[in-house]
Amino acid sequence: MKIDYHMHTYLSDGRDTHEQMIASASYRGIEEMGFSDHVSIKPARWAIPIENIDEMVRRVQTAQAENAHGLIIKFGVEMDYIPGMEKQIQELIAKLPVDYVIGSVHFMDDWNFDTDVIEYDNIDINRFYRQYFKLVQQSAASKLFDIIGHCDLAKKFAYYPSFSLNDLYEKTAQIFKKANVAVELNTSGRIKPCNEFYPSVPFLERLAYHKVPITLGSDAHIEQNVGQFFDDALTMLKALGFKEIARFTKRQREMVKI
């Protein structure tokens, strides 16, 4: 089943409307899709302003009611994980009629390492990777989220540590399993400097070994990118031994054949 659970509209940092994203998904053979605009407790320019959250809910519900292309449409959000703000995050999630919540780490303290590329030249990259994985592990252990987003985003701009990441992959996979979270295969890394999906193949191998459930997400910010590289992604998952992917309804997980 082709399911795309990660995309952004004009309400956060995407460009297009819900209707445009749905039409594109339909054209690309997506059977089930979910909107996941950015929501952040910490003010961030790419996130939906808190006062627009009601509009986000209305837009998704309208799209579901119109059912223009016969797709199954889910309501998700991509929520920033900010350590120490778990309670506020939980309260915000509780107010939303979500089918699933993607928990993502984009911030390291006040640095948004997802967009502010200039900083990479000023930091200790080995230390950055260790801190990054620690935050991802914490985000899973917090149990706030259904899906962990792009779980090796540290590689986005192709800065790599001098040590092997295998131990961190293994430890992180164990923590995901213990926390009973799903992890997304996010195909957008293919169009970033790192030029590969998140997470990378050796990390996916550890997730397969520990039987961590996988979701699929394009992280599209424009309608042309909905479902991007999904044929490759599904081929890769099958080659790694995955036979099912996860879908969510009102935060209940169910596995479906790929």
Give the residues lining the site for Zn ion (CB under 5 A).
Answer: 78, 104, 219
| Nearer Cβ to Zn ion (4/32) | 4
CA distance 47 to 43: 7
Q: Which CB, 32 or 78, lies closer to Zn ion? A: 78
Closer residue to Zn ion (CB): 103 or 213 = 103
CA distances from 16 to 21, 92, 143, 150, 224 (A): 7, 25, 31, 22, 10
Evaluate whether 187 touches 228 at the Cβ level (below 8 Å): yes
Smallest gap from residue 148 Cβ to Zn ion (A) = 11
Nearest approach, Cβ of residue 241 and Zn ion (Å) = 27
Please, what is the minimum distance in Å from the beta carbon of residue 198 to Zn ion?
A: 9
CB of 163 to Zn ion, least distance (A): 25
CA atoms of 139 and 178, how far apart (whole Å): 13
Specify the residue, 40 or 211, whose C-beta has the smaller distance to Zn ion.
Answer: 40
- How far apart are CB 9 and Zn ion at their closest, in Å? 11
Q: Would you say 6 or 206 has its CB closer to Zn ion?
A: 6
Nearest approach in angstroms of CB 46 to Zn ion is 9
Q: With beta carbons less than 8 A apart as the criterion, state whether 192 and 244 touch.
A: no
Question: Which residue pairs, CB below 8 angstroms and at least 24 apart, start in 121-125?
Answer: 125/159, 125/160, 125/161, 125/162
Q: Which is nearer to Zn ion, 53 or 209 (CB)?
A: 53
What letter does residue 115 receive in the DSSP assignment? T
**Angle at Cα 94 formed by Cα 89 and Cα 99, nearest 5°?**
105
Q: What is the dihedral of CA 144, 146, 151, 154, to 10 degrees?
A: -40
Backbone angles phi, psi at 248, to 5 degrees: -130, 140
